[in-house]
Amino acid sequence: MENITLIEKAGGVEFTRMIVAGAAGIDAQRQLVNELNVFPVPDGDTGTNMSLSLGAAATELKKTAYPEVGRVAEVAAAALLRGARGNSGVILSLLFRGIAAHLKGKETMDGADWADALQNGTEMSYRAVMKPTEGTMLTAFRVSAASAAEAAAEQPALEHVLDATLQSAEIALAETIHQNPVLERAGVIDAGAKGYCIILENMLAALQGRDTTVAPQDGARSVLDPANFSNYTAQDIKYNYCTEFIVEHRKKKDPLRLRALLESLGDSLVMVDDEEIIKIHVHTNHPGKVLEEALTYGPLTAIKIENMREQHSEQVIKQEGKEAERQDGASTGAPAVVPIVRHYGFVVVCAGAGLGEVFRDLGADQIINGGQTMNPSTEDILHAINQTPAEVVIVLPNNKNIILAAEQCVPLSSRQVVVVPTKTIPQGVAAMLAFETARAVSDNKEAMQTAARGVSTGQITYAARDSQFDGSTISAGDHIALTDHGLVCNHPDRAHAARYLAQELALSQPSFVTIFYGEGVSEEEAERTANVFAECCEGAELQVIDGGQPVYYYLVSAE
């Protein structure tokens, strides 16, 4: 490219066009990204989540023309965070949040600016994930950011650096198959990293003035499917004190050292740092140690320590009372905040009228219609939280790919938000049954997590396409029986799959078995299935409920 006139920099208009093109590109190819998933259940998954998340930023940017790249990045990052869906969407939002932090106040952006911003976004993404996994989109961020820095040192033109970013991301993408055991067994590249490459490719094309219209592609993997790297969450550990504060970052110390200490002292960590402040939220058994270390970085302000028993201050309650206004569909798009009338409230994610009624009977205030194939956004969850008239709002995601989006709401709401990381509907039901109003928040969270861990979940769904998985040949339309440990069997006959599932769950000798049957299952068939479970799980108390859930013919709780 040495003899070619390169595009040196971009202003706000050009950067807007790049982000909008990136969103259009991932939207056009989201099914291709979805089909890179290792397991063939009909999930919306990575491509859909990245498309909807970046699409939220594109929608916001189309409303107003911003001349400065710093303002474009700021608007995009804010919209992305609120629109983030699934782990891939949340991680993508954190990348853009870091990019925005570096570009703040800049009118234009050259290649060096982009390289530095990308590095900042990469670091923010890694910091947000308690235990980063190599062979994922994080790896593509890291490798491409390093290459961008090298390219900027050679030639700071934005076009040159962005091209190098894309090329290195594609190399990193090809390597993901060898970096993660799950991908290597299935023989696929990482879906999130592929989505990132598609976004970069379209951003570069927009910068160069090329047509970025990409026709939706057919599935590029005939036998290989879902990569669900969704466990970017804190481990379930007992910590009693919710500790929040702001550090005025006056001393030149690396905040990564502080984060490392906080990770060793607690969980549910949210840490946002820039040049002036470090905002921290962490659950810990040693708030004194946390504050003592934080003081070495600068003065502390806005300190709040709760042992999950204390209520919010009267000032917060009064403020919410003044601001409370039901504004469903308001033109501002801001979620309505209702007045607080009690201590505890619940927000639950599930799909199916019957399941919704079960959770409402157990005390759920807000039901978010979602789950497999339709992960709600951070904005959706935040709206439900703010519509819950309680000081402490407990959120049950009931799906491992929704947990991270729910956790982003912790610092965004004036409520005290507690995310109990339930991964299945049966775990969510068990968690709510373990709740007691008289308990402190920390005790309830511990009891609910313990109850969720004590449930074995069985599921019967269908194969969306042909695939090979762990030595099993799965044909499109097969009924797939799953437990927490993976595939039990696949078979054209649903009754056959149900018997295998019953036999597998019976190994734990459960005392209680609840069968939620979904769309496409008649009451008569559900009763026949219940008889099979009664035969296999001898002595267990059996309950059959019409859950009405899509995608999964049966959800089974065994405890």
Query: What would the pLDDT profile of 448-507 be if each residue is shown by its tens digit?
Result: 999 999 999 999 998 888 887 767 888 888 999 999 988 899 999 999 999 999 999 999
- Tell me the three state secondary structure of residue 284: strand
How many Cβ atoms from other residues are within 10 Å of residue 292's Cβ?
A: 10
Between CA 393 and CA 403 the distance in angstroms is 15
CA atoms of 27 and 489, how far apart (whole Å): 34
Q: Which of 24-38, 65-79, 222-236, 268-282 has the lowest mean pLDDT?
A: 222-236
Residue written as token pair 């040196």: 8
pLDDT (average), residues 300-315: 51
Check pLDDT > 50 for residue 215: no
Residue given tokens 């309950």 in the structure block: 543
238 vs 241: CA distance, rounded Å:
10
Q: Give the separation between CA 210 and CA 200, rounded to whole angstroms.
A: 14
Order the strands of the 241-248 sheet from edge to edge.
266-273, 277-284, 241-248, 300-306
What is the distance between the alpha carbons of residues 303 and 523, in angstroms, rounded to a whole number?
Answer: 55
Give backbone dihedrals phi and psi of 557, rounded to 5 degrees, phi first. -105, 125
Q: Is pLDDT at 232 greater than 50 in this prediction? A: no
pLDDT at 268 over 70: no
Per-residue pLDDT, 19: 96
- What's the pLDDT score for residue 403? 93
Q: Grade residue 240 by pLDDT with cuts at 50, 70 and 90.
A: low
pLDDT digits (tens, 9 = 90+) for 360-406: 989 899 999 887 767 898 999 999 999 999 999 999 999 999 999 99
Average pLDDT, the chain: 83
pLDDT of amino acid 463: 87
pLDDT in tens, 416-460: 999 999 999 999 999 999 999 889 999 999 999 999 999 999 999
Residue 407: closest CA among 509, 511, 267 = 267
* Side-chain-facing half-sphere of 501: CA atoms under 13 Å: 34
Strand order of the β-sheet with 456-462 is 486-491, 479-483, 456-462, 554-558, 512-517, 541-546
Mean pLDDT across 205-224: 57
Res. 133 pLDDT band, cuts 50 70 90: confident
State the Cα angle at 75 between 73 and 78, rounded to 5°. Answer: 105
CA–CA separation, 461 and 480 (whole Å):
5
- Which pairing describes strands 241-248 and 266-273: parallel, antiparallel, or unpaired? unpaired
Using a pLDDT cut of 90, give the percent of the chain over it.
Answer: 53
439-464: b (≥16 Cβ within 10 Å) or e:
bbbbbbbbbbbebbeebbbbbbbbbb
Residues 216, 222, 224, 228, Cα dihedral to 10°: 20
Give residue 266's identity as a one-letter amino acid code: G
Contact indicator for 415, 393 with CB cutoff of 8 Å = yes
Do 545 and 554 meet the contact criterion of CB atoms below 8 Å apart?
no
Q: Which residue has the higher pLDDT, 84 or 511?
A: 511
β-strand pairing of 554-558 with 512-517 = antiparallel
398: three-class secondary structure by DSSP: coil
What the block records as the tokens of 303 is 């300190």
Pairwise pLDDT comparison (323 vs 287), residue with the higher score: 287
As a whole number of Å, the CA-based R_g of the chain is 24
Kindly state the tokens that stand for 316. Answer: 């917060």
